[in-house]
Structures are given as C-alpha cells and as structure tokens.
Amino acid sequence: MHVPLLIIGGGLSGLAAALRTARFVPDVLLLEKHSRIGGLNSYYYRNNRLFETGLHAITNYAPPKVKNAPLNRLLRQLKIKRSELDLHEQNQSEIRFLGRESLLFSNNFSLLESQIADKFPASCQGFLKLKELIEQYDPFKPLPFISAKKILMEHLHDDLLTDMLLCPLMYYGSSIENDMDLGQFVIMFKAIFLEGMFRPGGTIKDLLDLLQKHYTDHGGSIRTQAGVQRILHSGNRIHGVLLSNGEEILCDHILSTIGSEETFALLDKVSGYKILPRLGFVETIFELKEDSTLKHSHDRTIIFFNSADRFSYQQPQTLVDFKSGVICMPQNFQNLPGVPFKEVRTTHLANYSEWQNLQKENNSYSSAKEETALSSLPVAEKILGNFAQNIVYHDTFTPLTIERYTSKINGAIYGNPIKIKNGDIGYDNLYLAGTDQGFLGIIGSMLSGVSIVNQHILPRL
C-alpha cells in the first residue's frame, strides 16, 4: 500500500490535519493506535452512559462576524459550518483563591476588567497596559524564553493578582512548571480571557463523528488499532511505516501528532533534548442525580482554585496536590439543548512516578484512585457546598490512564516542555503537529494540524 500522506495519531490535531489535506488530496490515511479516535479528547462508556475525557470547555470562542478569529479561521479551513457545531457559550467562570480573593470572568472581557478595577484598584492601569501588550505581541515570532511571570509583575506589582491570572492559563495550557513563556501566555490569555469558552451542544463523540464524517466524505481513510511501531527511513528521507501487526505502508510524507520524543522513538533516535519534568494530572468525574442542585456557585462553568499562600504549578512530591485545581460543571453553558449530563469534574496536579510505583503493588493503584476521589470531594464541597449525597457514580483517571490510552510519555497531557514551533524535526518529509508543536487545547491542536499541513505538506503534494 502506498499513500501520499500518512498521519500518525487520531487526536484532534491529526483529525484536523487529515480533513484539511483530504479537501485537496483525498488519498490520506490516518493511523490510530487505540480502538477509538479522539486521543486526549475522547470518551468511554461506564454505568450505562458516555463519559467524556478532556473536554471541560473549548477555548477561543468567537462570534461569527469576527472573521479573523482562530475559531472562524479553523472552521473555514475545514469547511465546517458553525451551525454544525451548535456552539454554547459559558455562563461565567471564576478564579478563586480561598480566603484571599475571587475574580469572575466570562466571554465578555469587561467583566474581568471591572473585577480587577474593584478588587485590585492599584493594578488596574497596569492591567490595561498588559492587555495592550498582549494585543500587539506576535506569539509566533521565534524568540528565546521570556518569563510571563516577570512581565506580569512588572505591570501589576501584585503577587496575588499575578498568581490568579496565571492559574487558569497554566492549568489549560502550560507544559512548564511555575512560569510560562510570554508567547504561550499571550496565546492562552487571548484564548481564555479575551475570546472565552464554549462547548458544543452534543458530546465530544458528536464532534469526533462530525470531523470523521467530513474527512471520509472527502475520500480520506482512518484505521484504528493501527499502532505505528517504526518509521521506515534512509537517512533523512522517510519511506513509510511498520505497524505493530507487521504490515508495512509506504508513503510520500508523514505528519506525526504523537509528540516529539514519541516520534523520535519510532525512528530509533534519541532527541538529545534536556529532560524536563512533565506535568501529570488526575481527574475525578462525579456524576450527580439529574434533579440535584449545588448550594453555592451553582451557575459557574469552571472554577480555577487555589488554597495555598502562593499558587504552585509544579509536579507534586506526592500522588496528588489537592491545594489547587479546576472544578468544571459541564452542564453550565448557555441554552444547552437537553443537558447531556449533570456532573462535577475535579482536576489536580499529579506525580506520574508516584502513581507508577503504586501500580506494581497489588490493589494499591485502585485504592489510591478511590482515595483520590474521596480527598478531592471535600475540596470541591468547600466551594460548591455538600453534594456527596447526590453522587450516583464516580470515576477517576490518572497519568497512567492517559499514558495507556494515548501513549503520551509519563501521561503528560501538555507533552514535552520543549516545543518545536515550525514542526520541522530534521527530516525531509516528516513533520510534527499537535501538542509538542506548542499549540495546546482543542482549538490549538486543531490549528496546529491545519497550519503544518498548509505550511509543509500541501505545497509539496
């Protein structure tokens, strides 16, 4: 078998890249190791219903008239109509530093501006200057690391406000500990605060089915349970791949979306990059009775919280760091058609190696998952009021779950801290897109797939 383009990985970057290419060259083949597409953004069935992984809220909301907004550009590139996605904006979200301060924000930026003016009046002018800087900054210009934390402090002169603004941006898009590169900060600030968050009316399965249908309608093909074991090459030129079932597929070009180190491993090559800590997360999904209500903050979409003196975004020494995290209520988006489910999802930073050590001991892995849910519950109840009595089912996933279903090294959602922004990993006809290209999140990873195809692949096919 021979194809012009072979894409490794059926996550959102791979799917978007495949669809973009198939619009012009139908003979694209997408290979996915798992039995289901979606990667970090997928779904599974338990307790007679569908559970989503990796979808709290989609960032980069834009109304239809803002033609140049990332969301609208993406839809145009993929030829998907907005109406097919059935977009629902968030209600409002919150950054809550317990016992200190709280900031509300929504898809209307003036809410955050007025909250900062009320609660941090001394930083208000600095915040407006920071916003100007963000609007003018080109995050794609290749520059050495610039500390976003330092820039925030220079503008705001306030530790607490700096930590509060960084908290959601780090949780939703930083692969490095306790700071962000200014370029990544700018991308995330625009995506979360200036543009805002939404979700589709259906589940993540509906979104994946939609992408798959558009792609196969153009003539593209997908093979699941088709893990690539090796990339075949002579020197810097790629010829094809060897699948784990022994089958060989030849191709002119490869786009890999599985991560940089993960791709180098298929080439029997070590990247030589410095090994930096990779961030892991645990998430518990508490399914609630349909008619249950939450006592406090019941209308919030997402709450980013911290209970420590300073916000620490780093790999904990223990299994889980419950001092900070994200609480998501996926039913709280405007005018959702039949609310698909009533849930509280809690996410915290976790230590991959600690979880891995446990797996070797009989039964202790599953009891640690149960203890994680039990410890996360009071943390969420402190913010939402008691809801334990309304829980009908719960499930927890760990960095090991992520590793098992996506083959990400250390189950690190945001991948390698070193990003390869131009997608060039030193081969003539092999390119990198997705998490390790540096665009994170659902819209980010899809844009990554599309932009690498536009830049490197379409001109050569």
Window 235 to 264, contacts with ligand FAD (CB under 6 A) = 257-258, 262
* 271/293 Cα distance (integer angstroms): 51
The answer to whether 445 contacts ligand FAD (rule: CB under 6 A) is yes
State which residue, 123 or 346, has the beta carbon closest to ligand FAD.
Answer: 346
Q: Which amino acid is at 397?
A: F
The answer to whether 280 contacts ligand FAD (rule: CB under 6 A) is no
Window 391 to 410, contacts with ligand FAD (CB under 6 A) = 402, 406-408
- Residue 94 near residue 102, CB atoms below 8 Å: yes
Three-state SS at 398:
coil
Report in angstroms how near the CB of residue 458 gets to ligand FAD at its nearest: 19
Window 19 to 48, contacts with ligand FAD (CB under 6 A) = 31-34, 39-41
**For 120-143, b where at least 16 C-beta lie within 10 A, e where not — what string?**
beebbebbeebbeebeebebeeee
- Residue 10 near residue 16, CB atoms below 8 Å: no
Cα dist. 59→90, 136, 377, 447 in Å? Answer: 10, 20, 26, 12
State which residue, 77 or 435, has the beta carbon closest to ligand FAD.
Answer: 435
Tokens for 18, please give them: 């495949």
Binding string, 48-67, against ligand FAD, x = CB under 6 A? -----xxxxxxx--------
State which residue, 146 or 243, has the beta carbon closest to ligand FAD.
Answer: 243
* Strands (DSSP E) found in 23-145: 28-31, 43-46, 49-52, 87-89, 92-97, 101-105
The answer to whether 8 contacts ligand FAD (rule: CB under 6 A) is yes
Report in angstroms how near the CB of residue 158 gets to ligand FAD at its nearest: 28
The answer to whether 187 contacts ligand FAD (rule: CB under 6 A) is no
- Residue 305 near residue 96, CB atoms below 8 Å: yes
The answer to whether 440 contacts ligand FAD (rule: CB under 6 A) is yes
The count of chain residues that interact with ligand FAD, using the rule CB under 6 A, is 38
Q: What is the CA radius of gyration of the chain?
A: 22
The answer to whether 434 contacts ligand FAD (rule: CB under 6 A) is yes
Task: Select the span of 7-15, 182-190, 354-362, 364-372 touching ligand FAD (CB under 6 A).
Answer: 7-15
Which residues contact ligand FAD by CB under 6 A? 8-14, 31-34, 39-41, 53-59, 227-228, 257-258, 262, 283, 402, 406-408, 413, 434-435, 440-442, 445
